[in-house]
Amino acid sequence: HYRCRSAFKLLEIDDKLHILRPGLSVLDCGAAPGAWSQVAVERVNALGTDPAAPTGFVIGVDLLRISPLEGAVFLSQADITDPGTQRAIQNLLPAEKVDVILSDMAPNATGIKELDHQKLISLCLGLVNLSQSILKPKGTMLCKFWDGHESRVLQNKLKEQFQDVRTIKPQASRKDSSESYYLARLYKGK
């Protein structure tokens, strides 16, 4: 019932590393078509399906249109790097900040590997900057990157700002050999 097979990557990562739990609020960057948001809605109990557990919140953002999903709030046709989008997110959040930032974002691939790599790294670096205004202290960030020369730059920046940073290569993304994720936990905040 997932909108896209990418759901299985997040399920696999979360089964192993437990980044989502009932009551957490989540920002899903690059959310279209919405499979990660489906997983997040289930795991943070955004619909209150389990009345005994706390109710979480999910907001998804994408350049593309995203069909509505019960339990999630979507900002469609919105660029996460745009300050206007960042203000809109903040206005929609129930609290000032989120517990988890997920990013499965991917820029339109040009086919030039080095260029695509750099574009995705700069998107991720932008998210680390955004964390300052949008991620709670001790919060978590999970972001996809394509491996290359500048992966280290992103990894080092994450290590500056989070206490625990690891690289994850889900089984479910084996076919895309250059795709990995950084999982950064325990945001140091300001």
Our answer to whether residue 136 is catalytic in this structure is no
Q: Alpha-carbon distance 4 to 100, whole Å? A: 21
Our CB check for ligand SAM shows the closer of 4 and 47 to be 4
Q: Alpha-carbon distance 50 to 17, whole Å? A: 22
Stretch that binds ligand SAM, among 73-81, 86-94, 149-157, 165-173 (CB under 6 A): 73-81
For 11, the 3-state DSSP assignment is helix
Which parts of 85-114 interact with ligand SAM (CB under 6 A)? 104-107
Q: Alpha-carbon distance 48 to 15, whole Å? A: 20
Smallest distance, ligand SAM to C-beta of residue 121, A: 13
Residue facing ligand SAM at closest CB distance: 30
Q: Does residue 172 interact with ligand SAM by CB under 6 A?
A: no
Query: Please, which residues bridge with residue 29 across strands?
Result: 61, 103
Smallest distance, ligand SAM to C-beta of residue 62, A: 4
Q: Which of 11, 32, 135, 143 binds ligand SAM (CB under 6 A)?
A: 32
Q: What is the DSSP letter of 93?
A: -
Task: Output phi, psi for 60, to 5 deg.
Answer: -120, 145
The CA angle 164-55-74, to the nearest 5 degrees, is 80
Q: Does residue 127 interact with ligand SAM by CB under 6 A?
A: no
Write the DSSP string, 150-182: THHHHHHHHHHHEEEEEEE--GGGTTSTTEEEE
Q: Does residue 140 interact with ligand SAM by CB under 6 A?
A: no
Catalytic residue among 9, 97, 144, 157: 144
> Which residues form the interface with ligand SAM (CB under 6 A)?
3-4, 6-7, 30-36, 61-64, 79-81, 104-107, 123
What is the set of active-site residues? 144
